[in-house]
Amino acid sequence: MVHKDCTQLPRIIKLSRHVHCIFHKYFLEDLTRKNCKICFNEVKLNRGSYSCVKQGCSYVVYVNCVLEDKYLYKVIEEEKQCEELYEKPMQSSIIHVIEVNEVGEDTKIEHFSHQHCLVLANKMEEEMDRKCDGCMLSISTLFYYYLQCLFFLHKTCAEFPRIKQHWFDKGSAILCFKDVQYCDFCYQYCSGFFYKIENFWGMCLRCAKVDDIIKCEGHQHFLFFDFKCKEKCNDCGNSCGHGAFRCGECKFALDFRCLTLPHSAHHKVDEHMLKLTYDVDNEQSYCDICEQKRDPSLWYYSCSICDTSAHPKCVLGQFPFLGDGSRWPYKRSHNHDLYCFRKVEGYPKCSCCGKLCQEEILKCEKSTCNYIIHHECPSY
């Protein structure tokens, strides 16, 4: 027995959260215990569901879960359309491959984000801390570069497609290269690669790398993204107002901002790399940078050699994912374009408040103009 409305359910849909098309079934034939990949509750065998028919794929979701948000699925009229979707090639970010080595790796390429050819390398020629111009994280693995421009891209970042279907929306996500953009997911000002997703300003590449079901080092169970989650984030303690990654087995949640924190970071407070630490600190805890108390239940950066510990915001600063010299796209009352810098030499005075500038300022593009301002200061 079924509701009248349920007799009209679409037979095949393409859900943004799964790579294959999924098919409606009134009963599950596979008797293996499975959880719905959206709500993570156990799927009852005698209840309607949508499941994947691809061999070896056990993806299954409840009807109510999959049809709850119209922005996450589209109806497929005929089964042959499924194969057309699978065969549709993704547009590559690599415009042209110039050289390939003996193991098939692209060693010299033309990339849409840079005017010069990029060469593959596995280590820096000099000891220097360089960031990937795509995701703005430190270079630590295979990367492409053009040394004269000091332009670097992780190999994985260079290979991200220009157009893809992201699990957060059924529409196409288009990759673009921005000076500075505000990410709608981690709420950070970032430079580098962004995916423009329908109904959103943009998603930075760090957030775009995250799947909807993940395993996080800071938790023992799998986490899945729940669009309705309003719990407090277990890292920063703030409420997750627009959904979060949560655990289906215990009360644990993480927002995009905390989930995409760098696993390690440099800071002048310590000569070693500081590691993101997830363990609860039962002792009286202080931040070695701001010298204020830390909440021992929240994540922090630490050095086990020097016994250093600090708040993530103190280690990373206000704009950890902005590249120096990136043009600030938001209008100020100053006549010239302003550029972002995370550090400034000589401690000049802010043109607005008159206080000394040490870190994270906006500076005029004109060398003859001494206009410098803190980001948080009004420019009028």
- Residues 304-347 have pLDDT tens digits of 899 899 999 999 988 889 888 888 877 667 788 888 887 777 77
pLDDT by residue (tens digit) across 131-183?
A: 899 999 988 789 999 989 889 999 999 999 999 888 988 888 999 998 888 99
Top-level CATH class of 5-87?
A: alpha beta
193 SS3 class: strand
Q: Give the pLDDT score at 325.
A: 83
Top-confidence residue, 64 or 140 = 64
Q: What CA–CA distance (Å, rounded) separates 39 from 44?
A: 13
Residue 76 has pLDDT above 60, yes or no: yes
Residue 218 C-alpha from the chain's centroid: 17
Residue 120 has pLDDT above 90, yes or no: yes
Distances (CA, A) of 184 to 8, 25, 187, 208, 255: 36, 36, 6, 11, 12
Average pLDDT, the chain: 87
With bands split at pLDDT 50, 70 and 90, how would you rate the model's confidence at 126?
A: low
The CATH code of the domain at 213-259 is: 3.30.60
Average the pLDDT over 213-230 and give the result. Answer: 89
Q: What CA–CA distance (Å, rounded) separates 207 from 254?
A: 13
Q: What CA–CA distance (Å, rounded) separates 307 from 297?
A: 18
Per-domain residue ranges for the chain?
5-87, 89-209, 213-259, 264-316, 324-380
φ, ψ at 101 (rounded to 5°): -85, -175
User: Which residues, at least 6 apart from 42, have a Cβ–Cβ distance to it below 8 Å?
Assistant: 33, 34, 35, 36
Residue 51, token pair as written in the block:
């499941």
- The edge-to-edge listing of strands for the beta sheet with 359-364 is 326-327, 338-343, 359-364, 372-374
- Closest to 74 measured CA to CA, from 17, 3, 7: 17
Q: Give the pLDDT score at 379.
A: 55
Q: What CA–CA distance (Å, rounded) separates 231 from 319?
A: 26
Average the pLDDT over 219-232 and give the result. Answer: 89
Average the pLDDT over 203-231 and give the result. Answer: 91
Residue 96 has pLDDT above 90, yes or no: yes
Q: Give the pLDDT score at 169.
A: 86
Report DSSP letters for 267-328, one per residue: ETTEEEEEEEE-S---S--B-TTT--B--TTS-EEEETTTTEEE-HHHHH-S-TTPPTTEEP
Q: CATH classification of 264-316 is 3.30.60, yes or no?
A: yes
- Answer yes or no: same fold for 5-87 and 213-259: yes
Residue 75 has pLDDT above 70, yes or no: yes
Encode burial over 75-100: b for 16+ CB neighbours within 10 A, e otherwise.
ebeeeeebeeeeeeeeebbbeeeeee
State pTM to two decimals: 0.84
User: Which residues, at least 6 apart from 264, have a Cβ–Cβ distance to it below 8 Å?
Assistant: 138, 273, 274, 275, 276
Burial of 153 per CB tally in 10 Å (0-12, 13-18, 19+): buried
Residue 288, token pair as written in the block:
């070695």
Q: What CA–CA distance (Å, rounded) separates 256 from 166?
A: 15
